[in-house]
Amino acid sequence: MHRRSPLGLALTYLALLLAAVFVLLPIWGLLRNALDGTLYGAPTNFQFFPEEWSLQPFIDVWQNPSQALGILGLLKNTIIVSGGAALIAVGFGAGMAYAFARFRFPGREVGLFSLLLGTLLPPVALMTPLFVLLTILGVRTTLVGLMMVYTAFSMPFCIWNMRASFQAVPLDIEEAALLDGASHRETFRFITLPMALPSIGVAALIAFILGYTEFALGWLFVESANNVTLAMAVSGYWAQSAVAWNRLSALAILMSIPVVAIFLILNRMLSRGWLLGMTGE
């Protein structure tokens, strides 16, 4: 086994240290701002530690996050919209992804290209048709309408991601199940789907994050303050004439906690999903 030289090992550790600083320093800067009780305007000088340690910014945004709803109400709307969009995109996209992965049918290449084009289109390109469609359906200003908007944006990515995971499942296993008398539906449900579940979890999490962090389109489809999400609350706080940066930072940190918690809970599944995608097993 080839042993690395001390210089090469030192350079590797130095590169890893610089990468860690590059990732962690902005996070610490956000946390430092949120813990500074004297920071009411934009920071004008660099300080590694808060001038006055305080949890008051967190208390203030918890009680009044610049919207009619409190943090828990905003979080509820966000989970409903982003979680619902992720479940719909994965649930309805799994069958389509399996069909693209295993079957040959007329229009298959055109369908795949259309889905790929859907992932490349900027969200603003779909604003007008979605606005008209949801207005006709009568759900444009509801959470259901916003959920449908985020589903439309996340489903093409989910289908492409799940298609790759289904293709990674060995075809011999499915053929053996079919020879044993299982139907295509049973093979998909009991064999292919469980083996591809880690990668499907990755697609669901990314679809969830897409809806969780989006706010620009949300203002177009939401008119009631009772339907505002966390990301929209952060953008609304930023739009105020006098922005208290410590409260804005505290609100951003509170918004990130649920995503971090979900990622930690699904960490093992996500790791298995990445390994499945890299090894093709």
pLDDT digits (tens, 9 = 90+) for 137-164: 888 888 898 999 899 888 888 888 888 8
What whole-number distance in Å separates Cα of residue 37 and Cα of residue 247? Answer: 9
Residue 80, pLDDT score: 92
Give the chain's domains with CATH numbers: 61-279 (1.10.3720.10)
Mean pLDDT for 107-120 is: 81
Indicate the pLDDT class of residue 225, thresholds 50, 70 and 90.
confident
Whether the pLDDT of residue 109 is over 70: the answer is yes
Residue type at 206? I
Q: Whose structure tokens read 């945004």?
A: 61
Alpha-carbon distances of 67 from 73, 74, 86, 215, 234, rounded to whole Å: 10, 9, 25, 14, 10
Q: Whose structure tokens read 């080839």?
A: 2
Whether the pLDDT of residue 257 is over 60: the answer is yes
Mean pLDDT for 48-69 is: 78
Q: How many Å separate Cα 189 from the centre of its chain?
A: 26
Six-digit token pair at 6? 């001390």
Whether the pLDDT of residue 11 is over 60: the answer is yes
pTM (2 decimals)?
0.80
Q: Whose structure tokens read 């009680």?
A: 63
Q: Is 56 exposed, middle or buried (0-12, 13-18, 19+ CB in 10 A)?
A: middle
Residue type at 10? A
* Pure H helices in 103-242: 108-120, 127-137, 143-168, 171-179, 184-187, 193-195, 197-213, 218-221, 230-238
Whether the pLDDT of residue 81 is over 90: the answer is yes
What whole-number distance in Å separates Cα of residue 74 and Cα of residue 42? Answer: 25
Whether the pLDDT of residue 272 is over 70: the answer is no
What whole-number distance in Å separates Cα of residue 40 and Cα of residue 52? Answer: 12
What whole-number distance in Å separates Cα of residue 232 and Cα of residue 228? Answer: 6
Tell which wins on pLDDT, 89 or 272: 89
Whether the pLDDT of residue 254 is over 90: the answer is no
Identify the weakest region by mean pLDDT among 31-35, 37-41, 147-151, 188-192.
37-41
Residue 279, pLDDT score: 42
Indicate the pLDDT class of residue 239, thresholds 50, 70 and 90.
low
Q: What is the residue-averaged pLDDT of the chain?
A: 81
What whole-number distance in Å separates Cα of residue 159 and Cα of residue 89? Answer: 8
Indicate the pLDDT class of residue 69, thresholds 50, 70 and 90.
confident
Residue 67, pLDDT score: 65
> Under a CB-based contact definition with an 8 Å cutoff, are residues 168 and 280 in contact?
yes
What whole-number distance in Å separates Cα of residue 257 and Cα of residue 67? Answer: 19
DSSP bridge pairs for 36: 53
